Amino acid sequence: MRAAGRLGSGAALWLLLAAQAVAAIEPISVGIAIGAASVITGYLSYRDLYCRFAECCGKQRPLNATALKLDLKEKLFGQHLAAEVILKALTGFRSNDNPKKPLTLSLHGWAGTGKNFVSQIVAENLHAKGLKSNFVHLFVSTLHFPHEQHIKLYQDQLQTWIRGNVSACASSVFIFDEMDKLHPGLIDAIKPFLDYYEQVDGVSYRKAIFIFLSNAGGDLITKTALEFWRAGRRREDIQLKDLEHALSVGVFNNKHSGLWRSGLIYKRLIDYFIPFLPLEYTHVKMCVRAEMKARGSAIDEDVVTRVAEEMTFYPKGEKIYSDRGCKTVQSRLDFQ
Ligand SMILES: Nc1ncnc2c1ncn2[C@@H]1O[C@H](COP(=O)(O)OP(=O)(O)OP(=O)(O)O)[C@@H](O)[C@H]1O
C-alpha cells in the first residue's frame, strides 16, 4: 500500500526534523507526529507503520534455527528424537522458498511427555506471538469437534476456517490437539490442503504447517523404550527408524487414533511421525527445577526430590517411567 500523496522533499524533511526536535519534550504525541511525517514523506508506507503496532503476516519471518535449536536443547527434556526431527523438519521446510506441500508433523506419546509444550516452542519460533498469534490456530478435538453426529458440519467449518486463514497468511500454523479423540474420518476434510497442489481454489497452502498431537501409539513407544532399558541400552540410542514406521502403521490401523484408515497416511501426506518417549525420574526432576526457575525461586534440591518422589512410576516392579510425565509437577510444587 503506497503512502497517499507526497510533499516536496524539502517540506517533508522539515516536518520530520521539526517532529524529531520536539521529541525530547513530549514523546507520545511526537511519536504520532513522526509517524505521520514518515508516512507523508513516504519514508514509511501505511502498512509499515501499521505493522509496527499490529501483528502482520507479511514476508515470512526467517526461522532462526540457532534459537530453535537452543530452545529445544534447553527446555525440552528426554526427547532427543523430537528435538532432532523437529529442528531438521522446520529448518528444511522454512529454508525452501517454494515447498511442494505444507509441512505436516504428527507427534505421538503418552500424557505429559511434552507434545503441547513443543508445539508452543515451535509456534514461538515461527510467529513472534506464539500460540497467541493471529496466525497460529489450536483445535482441541473434544472442545471444537465434540459431537459425532456433526462431523459433516465440522468438516465444512474446518475447510472454511483453514481456507480463510491461509488466504490471510500463507505461513499459518494449525495445531490439532487430542487427535486420538477425533472422530474417524473428520480429519480427511483437510486432505486437499496437505496434498501436492500448487493451489486449491486459488489459494496456496504450501507454506502452511500442520501439527497433530496424539496419545495414540504411546503403548508402542513405551514398549520400545522398555526393550532398550531392559537390554541395558541408552534411551538416546533409540532412533526414529526404530519407531516411525511401526507408529504410522499402528495409528493407521487404530480406530481410536483420529487417523484410522486416513488418506493422510495412505497418501503419505504426513511428513514425520514423531515419538515422544515416556519420561524417567530424572526428567521429572528437571521439570521441577525448570518450574522453580520459571517461578523465580532458588532451586531447592530437597523440594525437587520430594516432588519427584510424589509422582507415580511404572511398570510396577521397575518404576522407570512417570505415569503422568511432567504433568501435575506444577500443582504439586504449589503444596511444598
Ligand atoms: N519433555 C518435557 N520437557 C520439559 N517439560 C515438559 C516435558 N513434558 C512435559 N513438560 C512440562 O509438563 C507440562 C505438560 O506437558 P504437555 O502439555 O506438553 O504434555 P502432553 O504431552 O501434551 O500431554 P497430553 O498428551 O496429556 O496433552 C508442559 O507445559 C511442561 O511444563
pLDDT of residue 77: 98
Distance in Å from the first CA to the final CA of the chain? 57
User: What are the residues whose beta carbons fall under 8 Å from the beta carbon of 111, sequence distance 6 or more?
Assistant: 215, 324, 325, 327
Res. 15 pLDDT band, cuts 50 70 90:
low
Taking each continuous run of H as one helix and of E as one strand, the counts in the chain are 15, 7
Residue minimizing CA distance to atom 18 of ligand 1: 114
CA 113/CA 153 separation, integer angstroms = 33
Give the integer Cα–Cα distance in Å for 15 and 104.
51
Contact 68, 91 (CB under 8 A): yes
Q: Does the beta carbon of 325 sit less than 6 angstroms from any atom of ligand 1?
A: yes
Instruction: Report the predicted TM-score, pTM, of the whole model to 2 decimal places.
Output: 0.88
Give SS3 for 313: strand
Is 152 a known ligand-binding residue?
A: no
Please tell me the distance from the alpha carbon of residue 291 to that of residue 296, in angstroms, as a whole number. 9
46 Cα: distance to centroid of ligand 1 (angstroms):
42
Among candidates 279, 293, 277, which has minimal Cα distance to 328? 279
Distance (Å, rounded) from C-alpha 156 to C-alpha 50?
33
Q: Is 248 in the pocket of ligand 1 (CB under 6 A)?
A: no
d(CA 269, CA 252): 13
Rounded to whole angstroms, the Cα distance separating 238 from 229 reads 10
Beta bridge partners of 140: 177
DSSP letter (8 states) at residue 58: -
| Closest residue to atom 27 of ligand 1, CA basis | 111
* pLDDT score recorded for residue 5: 36
- Cβ of 115 closer than 6 Å to ligand 1, yes or no, is yes
114 is in an annotated binding site: yes
User: Which residues have C-beta within 8 Å of that of residue 257, sequence separation ≥ 6?
Assistant: 179, 180, 214, 216, 217, 250, 251
Q: Please check if 111 is assigned to a binding site.
A: yes
**Residue 336 neighbours by CB under 8 Å, 6+ apart:** 303, 306, 307
CATH code 3.40.50.300 region(s) in the chain = 65-276
Q: How far is CA 244 from the centre of its chain?
A: 20
Nearest residue by C-alpha to atom 11 in ligand 1: 326
Q: In angstroms, what is the span from residue 324 Cα to ligand 1's centroid?
A: 9
Centroid of ligand 1 to alpha carbon of 63 (angstroms): 23
Report pLDDT digits (tens) over 152-198.
999 999 999 999 999 999 999 999 999 999 999 999 999 999 999 99
Distance of alpha carbon 170 from alpha carbon 127, whole angstroms: 12
pLDDT digits (tens, 9 = 90+) for 309-334: 999 999 999 999 999 999 999 999 99
Strands 209-214 and 173-177: parallel
With bands split at pLDDT 50, 70 and 90, how would you rate the model's confidence at 37? Answer: low
User: Half-sphere exposure of residue 284, counting CA atoms within 13 Å on the CB side?
Assistant: 28
Residue 71, pLDDT above cutoff 90: yes
The Å distance, Cα 115 to ligand 1 centre, comes to: 6
The architecture CATH gives domain 65-276: 3-Layer(aba) Sandwich (3.40)
* Least confident span in 18-22, 75-79, 170-174: 18-22
Contact between residue 238 and residue 133 where contact means Cβ atoms under 8 Å apart: no
Q: How high is the ipTM of this complex?
A: 0.99
**113, 278 contact by CB (below 8 A):** yes
